[in-house]
């Protein structure tokens, strides 16, 4: 399942996509949890009883601000969450 967390507003599209099929059997030992400077990710049991990562609810509405620090202007060459997620489950819309 591809789970898209975020929103679209007048300023643009801000979505973090998590491929739960790749996330279930995480070979990166849930590195996303610590890689995100804002600690936006957490592990939940989804509706189909799989343990997967999701973006915490309050962050889903503030992604454009929360993720701003990890953009190239913040000194990062790649997004920390995507880099840490070696199975490639995490993608961003920007």
Partner 1 sequence: MNAEVTAETVPEKKEFWRWQENVWVDETKDWKTAKIITCGIDVGSVSSQAVLVIDGELYGFNSMRTGNNSPDSATNALQGVMDKCGMKLEDIHYVVGTGYGRVNVPFAHKAITEIACHARGANYMGGNGVRTILDMGGQDCKAIHCDEKGKVTNFLMNDKCAAGTGRGMEVISDLMQIPIAELGPRSFDVDVEPSAVSSVCVVFAKSEALGLLKAGYTKNKVIAAYCQAMAERVVSLLERIGVEEGFFITGGIAKNPGVVKRIEKILGIKAMETKVDSQIAGALGAALFGYTLMSKKAAAA
Residues that bind partner 1 (CB under 8 A): 1-4, 6-10, 13, 15, 47-48, 60-61, 93
Comparing CB distances to partner 1, the nearer of 31 and 63 is 63
7: tokens are 């929103």
* CB of residue 31 to partner 1, shortest distance in Å: 24
Q: DSSP label at 28?
A: S
**Inter-residue contact 5 to 81 (CB < 8 Å):** no
**Inter-residue contact 63 to 16 (CB < 8 Å):** yes
Comparing CB distances to partner 1, the nearer of 36 and 60 is 60
What is residue 21's three-state secondary structure? helix
Comparing CB distances to partner 1, the nearer of 3 and 82 is 3
């Amino acid at each position: 399942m591809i789970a898209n967390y975020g929103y679209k507003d007048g300023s643009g599209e801000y979505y973090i996509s998590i491929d739960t099929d790749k996330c279930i059997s995480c070979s990166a030992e849930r590195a996303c949890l610590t890689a995100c400077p804002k600690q936006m990710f957490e592990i939940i049991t989804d509706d189909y009883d799989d343990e997967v990562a999701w973006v915490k609810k309050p962050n889903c509405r503030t992604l454009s601000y929360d993720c701003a620090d990890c953009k190239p202007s913040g000194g990062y060459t790649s997004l920390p969450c995507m880099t840490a997620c070696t199975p490639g489950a995490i993608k961003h819309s920007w």
